[in-house]
Amino acid sequence: MARVLLVDDEKVARAVYGDYLADAGHVVRTVNGVSEARAALAREAFDIVVTDLILPQGDGMEVLRHTKERYPDVAVVLITALDKVGPAVRAIKSGAAEYLVKPVRAETLRHAVSRALATRHLLQENAALRRHVALVEAGQRMLTVLDRGRLGEAAAAAFVQLCQANAALVLTRGPKGELRHEAAEGVPSEYLSAVQAACEGLLRDEAPRAFTMSGIPHFAQGVAVPALDPTAGLRGWSVVLLEGPEPAGLRDTANYLAQHLALALHHAERIEQAEDLVYIDDLTQLYNARYLDEALEREFGRADAHQPFSILFLDLDSFKTVNDTHGHLVGSKLLIEAARVVKSCTRDQDVTARWGGDEYVVLLRETDSGGALKVAERIRRAIEAHHFLSREGFGLRLTVCIGVASFPEHASDKRSLVDQADRAMYRGKKSTRNVVYVASPSDGAVPSARSGAA
Q: Among the CATH numbers 3.40.250.10, 3.40.50.2300, 3.90.1170.50, 3.30.300.30, which is that of 3-124?
A: 3.40.50.2300
> Looking at the domain that runs over 145-276, which CATH code has it been given?
3.30.450.40
Q: What is the DSSP string of 290-348?
A: HHHHHHHHHHHHH--TTS-EEEEEEEETTHHHHHHHH-HHHHHHHHHHHHHHHHHTS-T
Closest CA to 195 of 214, 176, 175: 214
Average pLDDT of the chain to the nearest whole number: 89
The terminus-to-terminus CA distance of the chain in angstroms comes to: 93
Region at 282 (left for phi over 0; alpha for psi -120 to 50; beta for the rest): alpha
Digit-coded pLDDT (tens) for 360-410 = 999 999 999 999 999 999 999 999 999 999 998 999 999 999 999 999 999
| Topology annotation, domain 289-453 | Alpha-Beta Plaits (3.30.70)
Domain ranges of the chain: 3-124, 145-276, 289-453
Contact assessment for residue 450 and residue 423, using Cβ atoms and an 8 Å cutoff = no
The structure's pTM equals: 0.51
The arithmetic mean of pLDDT across residues 111-136, rounded, is: 85
Residue type, 395: G
What pLDDT score does 303 carry?
57
Most confidently modeled range among 88-102, 136-150, 170-184, 311-325? 311-325
Q: Which of 166-170, 178-182, 347-351, 356-360 has the lowest mean pLDDT?
A: 178-182
What pLDDT score does 195 carry?
94
